[in-house]
Homo-oligomer: A and B are copies of this chain.
């Protein structure tokens, strides 16, 4: 269905349905605000979850590994996978233990893994990953050569089903508990960019290059990644 992923039997939030979103825009806004995903799959029937950098193009997620790695070998056989992404936004400290909570944005995306095959397609995918993080970077750097591209395994996963689960807002205590002499509130959490550290052997201006212009010190990483995804 264009513009939405569901909900489906796998993805429908049965409790607190107001926190579930199934439209592409909501799902993509979480996926594009992060860079590490947690890829769940099975090896010999046993669950594995591998944290790995990922990127998105349309409804497809990509990640890479060594072409010799167990993950790539297993996933290139087109198996079922679930990719989870989460962003921590804050802690909710309530008047009762029951209502302590976490502010977060998360996505669960389901599909089947497929290898990206051929040097041209793999190189294009890897450049897309780098450009998604650092818009324009492929034209600044030395291109990936053939022996390097042969050593990389790239996996793509069309998202068949997905949901975003988002918890915003503040303390939601039981009515009677507001009479308690107890502190309650929210502790916001932010993930921010630090001051870029140039490599010690640079032959060029140590200032950040154009591809890193979004990475200003103290910028919110989720916003940098969202903007880079739109520009890359």
Contact count band on A: 35 or more
> Of B127, B185, B188, which one neighbours A199 at CB under 8 angstroms?
B185
Question: Does A15 lie within 8 Å of B194, measured CB to CB?
Answer: no
Question: Does B51 lie within 8 Å of A144, measured CB to CB?
Answer: no
Answer whether residue A168 sits at the interface, using C-beta atoms and an 8 A cutoff.
Answer: no
In chain A, residues 58-102, which have Cβ atoms closer than 8 Å to a Cβ of chain B? 66, 68-70, 80-86, 88, 90-91, 93-98, 100, 102
Answer whether residue A19 sits at the interface, using C-beta atoms and an 8 A cutoff.
Answer: no
Answer whether residue A38 sits at the interface, using C-beta atoms and an 8 A cutoff.
Answer: yes
Contacts of A69 in B (CB 8 A): 14-15
Contacts of A232 in B (CB 8 A): none
In chain A, residues 134-157, which have Cβ atoms closer than 8 Å to a Cβ of chain B? 134, 137-138, 140-145, 148, 152
Question: Does A97 lie within 8 Å of B66, measured CB to CB?
Answer: no
> Of B38, B100, B180, B193, which one neighbours A187 at CB under 8 angstroms?
B193
